[in-house]
Amino acid sequence: MLFVMLSVIAFLLTARSPSRAARVRLNEADSGRTLELHLADRLDVVLEGNPTTGYRWELVTVDKSILKPTGASGKPDYKPDSSALGAGGKFTFTFEAATAGQTKLQLIYHRSFEKGVPPVKTFEATVVVR
C-alpha cells in the first residue's frame, strides 16, 4: 500500500500542471517550423508590421479546438516600436494548447480591402499538442 501511495505522489509531482505550462515564442524566422506543445502551454507568435500602411496580420487557418486563440476572437495585440507617428511595431497572436492533436497555423499580412491581391507575407507552422 505504501508503494502505491508513493508512486501516486511521485506521478503527481512530475506531472505538468497549468501553473508549470510552458510559454513558447515564435517570430517570422520560425515560419515553416513544426513544434510540439503540451496541454495548457501557451504559444506567442510575434510578427512585425505597420498598420498605418493599411497592412495587418490576420489569422487564416488553425483548428481552434486544438490551439485556442486567446484574447478578442483571435485578433492580435499590437504594440508600436515607438511613439513616432507612423511607426511600425509588433503584432502578437497568443494561443493555448487546448486538446491533443495536430493543426496547421497560418497567418497572412495583407490589406483586407484589396480583394484578389495575394498577401505580402505569410507565416505558417505546424503545431502538435501532446
121 CB burial (10 A radius; 0-12, 13-18, 19+): middle
- Tell me the per-residue pLDDT of 105-129, one tens digit each, with 9 for 90 and over: 999 999 999 999 999 999 999 999 9
pLDDT band (50, 70, 90) for residue 5: very low
- pTM as predicted: 0.82
30 three-state secondary structure: helix
According to DSSP, the residues that pair with 67 across neighbouring strands are: 97
Nearest alpha carbon to residue 30 among 11, 13, 18, 47: 47
Where do the structural domains in the chain lie, given as residue ranges?
Answer: 21-129
According to DSSP, the residues that pair with 93 across neighbouring strands are: 45
**pLDDT score of 13 more than 90:** no
22 Cβ partners below 8 Å, 6+ apart?
37, 38, 41, 42
pLDDT band (50, 70, 90) for residue 1: low
113 three-state secondary structure: coil
CATH of 21-129, one of 3.30.540.10, 3.30.70.20, 3.40.630.30, 2.60.40.2020: 2.60.40.2020
